Chain A
Amino acid sequence: MDILGLLKNMTITHWSFYIVSMLTLFGALGTIMSKNPIHSVIYLILTFFSLSAHYIMLNAQFLAAVNIIVYAGAIMVLFLFVVMFLNLREENEELPKNSILIAASIVGGIIGITLIAAIRQTQIEKVNPYSFNTKTGLVETLGSLLFNKYLLPFELVSVLFLIAMAGAVMLGKREKGERHF
């Protein structure tokens, strides 16, 4: 295999895909491997940003923006809060047992192999650049679908939010007689 030739033939899309993928994997590995939970969270932010870059390359700009606003912004704040609650000190950190690590890597490896096999087996249709609808993945398309076809799920999402909100404030409420923090 001529690696040099392969490198020469790569277009700018290829380059950006591989760089962004490497960043994503780096961030994901850093998230699970760093000892300090705050570092984990920051690695996770990196992962989210590079995933957003992937979305942009797939022509899903809105999704990319939402991913940054909601996940890299808001959810990360929640993560940091949780890290703060737990009051983690480095001394009382316990590394998971080796048996768990081995079991986890076997399971993860099997899932990975299955997915790779599935991708290799499927024939992915080449996109025809002349008939391709460039508006796929843009906000307008999403909006007209969301408010037409997916009307009922959209409205019921509000019920889901309501449950989450009512439940969270109810469980987080300090009852009479409980101690102050």
Chain B
Amino acid sequence: MYPILFLSFSGLITLFLGFFQEGKWVKPATILFLAIASISAFIDWNKPGAYFFNMLQVNNFNLLLSLVILITAILIVAISDNFKEIEYAHSAEYYAIMQFSLVGAIMMTNFQSLIMLFLGVEILSVSMYVLTGTDKRNLRGNEAAIKYFLLGAFATGILLFGIAMIYGGVGAFEIDAISGTLASNQAQSLFLYIGLVMLLIGLLFKLAAAPFHFWTPDVYEGAPTIFTLFMATIVKTAVVFALYRILHQSFQNMHLSWSYILAGCIALSLIIGNLSAVKQISFKRMLAFSSISHAGFLLLGLLHVSKTADKSLLFYSVSYLLASTSAFGVLLALKNERTENGRSNENISVFKGLATRSPFLSAVLIISMLSLAGIPLTGGFWSKFYVLTDAANDQFFYLIVLALLLTAVGVYYYFKPIITVFEKSDIQEAITINPIFKIIFVLTTLGTLVLGLFPDLLYGMI
């Protein structure tokens, strides 16, 4: 609860910090603000309840989610490097908008009333539209921003329509009230079903799950890498837990109806994500398709209303966050490698000869790729394991088989960058890495390995 209030004001302060001393305090201040916000989250520790007239729900799990989001944000801000990849960067604005967008993300995980969910989605998405288009001279970035904005605004409209329908069916916005009504009487108004489907469409769009994924590759590729990372990690986490709250805590009695919709989306996401990623040349585009397939896995964790669903989802999110941060971070560290047209080289070929040029970066990249592929001894393996165990059930047996098969396909394309790392390159000069990058990479890589070797450290703790 407190991070929401705090970040709303710290974002404002950051906006104005850009005026002082050419904005050199903006980045340290942002990290400080995020750290304070993370600490302020603990004020609510062990004080579960609904706050602000039933708008926000506070409990320890939600608090943990806010913490995960905030800490990821700290990592991302740390490797943002003052946005040197963007021509005409306005750092203060970007950091401020990032803080505001975190307000939206935390609202989406801690909401109790659907109004708050809508506002959270809107705050997060509007920030993302702006951040996608920040590189104004990049035509691809502009295209991505306008595409994302038009489609995203439409999806938000559908989401709002769905909320209105649910209100029409139940007469309440609170998710507790909805689950109460669902539990008490058998025959449900058709509005409730339509509303739920529309709500799902809106949220699945934001999650980039197929068949609502069309924007993902273009937007991931067109946006500046740092904001792609932001989208892939924070937006996904926020949306998946918003879905968790809606499906598992509010509509659990309609499980029979929504599980089939979800199963279809999972199958499509896994197939489209994994098969399309195979052919990609651009690293960011490949990660975009991989993020679609990861959306499928995250939804797989939602498929059954079980007691361990929240645990596995959180574990999956954390390991995905760590691996993505490493993968995109390595790309950011290599941003000085240019192609002929002067833009940063974002193809997989940029990693050529990395093994000799910088063994450290190549180790980080390899471990992150292994984790994303789900190879044992990394966090990715256990996250897939937990999610699949949760979903294992006679009803959707074929989905598990499909997921396992497509994971094998995934191994193929995740190994492409790894093989490229060991290829010989003409350029031999060593790459110098910013010390902050080093610290972050050590943290994320160690995190991935620790999760892989001792999964119970996190899984048992929740």
Smallest Cβ distance from B186 to chain A, in angstroms?
Answer: 15
Is B189 part of the binding interface, using a Cβ–Cβ cutoff of 8 Å?
Answer: yes
Which of these, A151, A160, A162, A166, contacts B119 with CB under 8 Å?
A160
Smallest Cβ distance from B264 to chain A, in angstroms?
Answer: 16
Determine if B189 and A122 form an interchain contact, defined as CB atoms under 8 angstroms apart. Answer: yes
Smallest Cβ distance from B73 to chain A, in angstroms?
Answer: 16
Determine if A167 and B53 form an interchain contact, defined as CB atoms under 8 angstroms apart. Answer: no
Smallest Cβ distance from A28 to chain B, in angstroms?
Answer: 15
Determine if A118 and B123 form an interchain contact, defined as CB atoms under 8 angstroms apart. Answer: no
The residues of A that contact B130 with a CB separation of less than 8 Å are: 163, 166-167, 170-171
Interface of chain A, main secondary structure: helix
The residues of A that contact B123 with a CB separation of less than 8 Å are: 156, 159-160, 163
Smallest Cβ distance from A147 to chain B, in angstroms?
Answer: 11
Is B12 part of the binding interface, using a Cβ–Cβ cutoff of 8 Å?
Answer: yes
Determine if B127 and A167 form an interchain contact, defined as CB atoms under 8 angstroms apart. Answer: yes
Smallest Cβ distance from A164 to chain B, in angstroms?
Answer: 6
- Given A152-B116, A167-B97, A167-B130, the answer on whether A160 and B122 have CB atoms closer than 8 Å is yes
Determine if B55 and A164 form an interchain contact, defined as CB atoms under 8 angstroms apart. Answer: no
The residues of A that contact B113 with a CB separation of less than 8 Å are: 153
The residues of B that contact A115 with a CB separation of less than 8 Å are: 194
Is B241 part of the binding interface, using a Cβ–Cβ cutoff of 8 Å?
Answer: no
Which of these, A149, A156, A157, A175, contacts B88 with CB under 8 Å?
A175
Q: How far is the CA of A156 from the CA of B127 in the complex (A)?
A: 14
Is A117 part of the binding interface, using a Cβ–Cβ cutoff of 8 Å?
Answer: yes
The residues of B that contact A157 with a CB separation of less than 8 Å are: 119
Q: How far is the CA of A148 from the CA of B134 in the complex (A)?
A: 38
Smallest Cβ distance from A162 to chain B, in angstroms?
Answer: 7
Determine if B88 and A153 form an interchain contact, defined as CB atoms under 8 angstroms apart. Answer: no
Q: How far is the CA of A175 from the CA of B63 in the complex (A)?
A: 41
Smallest Cβ distance from B84 to chain A, in angstroms?
Answer: 16
Determine if A149 and B190 form an interchain contact, defined as CB atoms under 8 angstroms apart. Answer: no
Q: How far is the CA of A115 from the CA of B11 in the complex (A)?
A: 42
The residues of B that contact A150 with a CB separation of less than 8 Å are: 53, 55, 115
Residues of chain B in range 196-245 having any CB-CB distance to chain A below 8 Å? none
Q: How far is the CA of A151 from the CA of B101 in the complex (A)?
A: 20
Smallest Cβ distance from B413 to chain A, in angstroms?
Answer: 32
Is B255 part of the binding interface, using a Cβ–Cβ cutoff of 8 Å?
Answer: no
Determine if A152 and B52 form an interchain contact, defined as CB atoms under 8 angstroms apart. Answer: yes
Is A114 part of the binding interface, using a Cβ–Cβ cutoff of 8 Å?
Answer: yes
Is B93 part of the binding interface, using a Cβ–Cβ cutoff of 8 Å?
Answer: yes
The residues of B that contact A149 with a CB separation of less than 8 Å are: 53-54
The residues of A that contact B100 with a CB separation of less than 8 Å are: 159, 162-163
The residues of A that contact B189 with a CB separation of less than 8 Å are: 118, 121-122
Determine if B8 and A159 form an interchain contact, defined as CB atoms under 8 angstroms apart. Answer: yes
Determine if B55 and A153 form an interchain contact, defined as CB atoms under 8 angstroms apart. Answer: yes
In the complex, residue of chain A having the shortest beta-carbon distance to the beta carbon of B55: A152
The residues of B that contact A151 with a CB separation of less than 8 Å are: 52-53
Q: How far is the CA of A176 from the CA of B134 in the complex (A)?
A: 15
Determine if A175 and B136 form an interchain contact, defined as CB atoms under 8 angstroms apart. Answer: yes
Smallest Cβ distance from A158 to chain B, in angstroms?
Answer: 8
The residues of A that contact B87 with a CB separation of less than 8 Å are: 175
Q: How far is the CA of A121 from the CA of B8 in the complex (A)?
A: 44
Which of these, B56, B101, B116, B194, contacts A118 with CB under 8 Å?
B194
The residues of B that contact A160 with a CB separation of less than 8 Å are: 119, 122-123, 126
In the complex, per-residue mask of B92-136: 1 if CB is within 8 Å of any chain A CB, else 0: 010011001101000100000101100100110011011001101
Determine if A167 and B191 form an interchain contact, defined as CB atoms under 8 angstroms apart. Answer: no
Determine if A117 and B190 form an interchain contact, defined as CB atoms under 8 angstroms apart. Answer: yes
The residues of A that contact B133 with a CB separation of less than 8 Å are: 171
Determine if A156 and B107 form an interchain contact, defined as CB atoms under 8 angstroms apart. Answer: yes
Smallest Cβ distance from A22 to chain B, in angstroms?
Answer: 23
The residues of A that contact B116 with a CB separation of less than 8 Å are: 152-153
The residues of A that contact B55 with a CB separation of less than 8 Å are: 150, 152-153
- Residues of A at the B interface (CB closer than 8 Å) are 114-115, 117-118, 121-122, 148-153, 155-157, 159-160, 162-164, 166-167, 170-171, 175-176
Cβ contacts A to B, 14 pairs, < 8 Å: A118-B189, A148-B53, A150-B53, A152-B116, A156-B123, A159-B100, A162-B100, A163-B127, A167-B130, A170-B130, A171-B133, A175-B88, A175-B136, A176-B88
